[in-house]
Amino acid sequence: MNLAKKRIVVTGGSGFLGSHVVHQLRKLDCTDIFIPRSHEYDLRKEHDVNKMLQDFRPDIILHLAAVVGGIGANQKNPGKYFYDNLIMGTQLMEQSRLFGVEKFVAIGTICSYPKHASVPFQEEDIWNGYPEETNAPYGLAKKMMLVQSQAYREQYGFNSIYLLPVNLYGPGDNFDLETSHVIPAIIRKCVDAIRNDEKKIVLWGTGSVTREFIYVEDAAQAIIAATMSYDQSEPVNIGSGHEISIKSLAETIKQLSGFQGEIEWDKTKPDGQPRRLLDVTKAKERFGFAAQTSLLAGLEKTIAWYMAHPHMQGRIPT
């Protein structure tokens, strides 16, 4: 598919992942890109979704918008995270089908996998248990787009695909400690401790759990590759294929940032899911994607960005 000739809506296009996806589209000479702003189009409301479709008349929709955060934010907002993400996906896919959108790309989450899924997580295992409790409402809401996508393909022939990325990180990430994920949170704590001459930082949990991460530019390239050449109903994992413990991650960030103090682990706080690692074979087989950025290289770039933008606690504006 030649994307340069298509009219493309990118929901969440001004956010962290979305801004990188838009950048990749522009590198492909895409000029008809529309980014719906939440103050103009509330994607939870049918009227606003229809208005967006009428205003831009897209051929392709990349649905990246999400209400998302770390463990703490999920614990504080389980109902909001469930409802907002569920209704956005449901409304947008249904109205896109009725409008005749050519292709719908739904972005899911690794949080949809069962808490005790076999490692590495394979796409076929996504229904083999309940997600980790702290982010189950968010993960299940996003997983409903997979159900809807497959049902709509079967009944209506609607061309929608569903991608499952791991945790993202990179320049422009959300560094607000109330809502950020683990990498930006640790980076901010280390860098801010250096600036404030603090001798200790406190991190949640035991540090023993493991996670997989993908650099945001790699994730954006995966989404573009799938949009161009993947048209099947099976979900596809998007990741780096490499696993690291949170304790090792924290020590790496400490070293790269230059923080010389102590890391204290608050074991009264939850760890979350014990392990997260994706089998990324299908992405390579189906649309030729393999992540190119090592964790070390990605962390260096992300730390450098935060050091250069100390006032940017939230996502970078576009």
Alpha-carbon gap, residue 123 to 107, rounded angstroms: 14
Give me the phi and psi of 34, to 5 degrees please: -120, 130
Q: For residue 105, give the nearest of 5, 285, 2, 229 by alpha carbon.
A: 229
Tokens of 168: 């993202």
Alpha-carbon gap, residue 89 to 43, rounded angstroms: 8
- Which ranges constitute the DSSP H helices of the chain? 16-27, 46-56, 71-76, 78-99, 136-156, 182-195, 216-229, 246-257, 281-287, 295-308
Alpha-carbon gap, residue 174 to 106, rounded angstroms: 22
> Which of 41, 81, 113, 138 is labelled catalytic?
138
Q: For residue 32, give the nearest of 66, 56, 11 by alpha carbon.
A: 56
For the question of residue 83 being annotated catalytic, the response is no
Whose structure tokens read 């990749």?
Answer: 24
Q: For residue 212, give the nearest of 251, 249, 250 by alpha carbon.
A: 249
Q: 25: buried, middle or exposed (CB in 10 Å: 19+, 13-18, 0-12)? A: buried
Q: Is the dihedral of CA 132, 135, 140, 145 positive or negative?
A: negative
DSSP β-ladder status, 33-34 and 200-204? unpaired
Which of helix, strand or coil describes residue 80?
helix
Which of helix, strand or coil describes residue 125?
helix
Which of helix, strand or coil describes residue 66?
coil
**Catalytic residue list:** 138
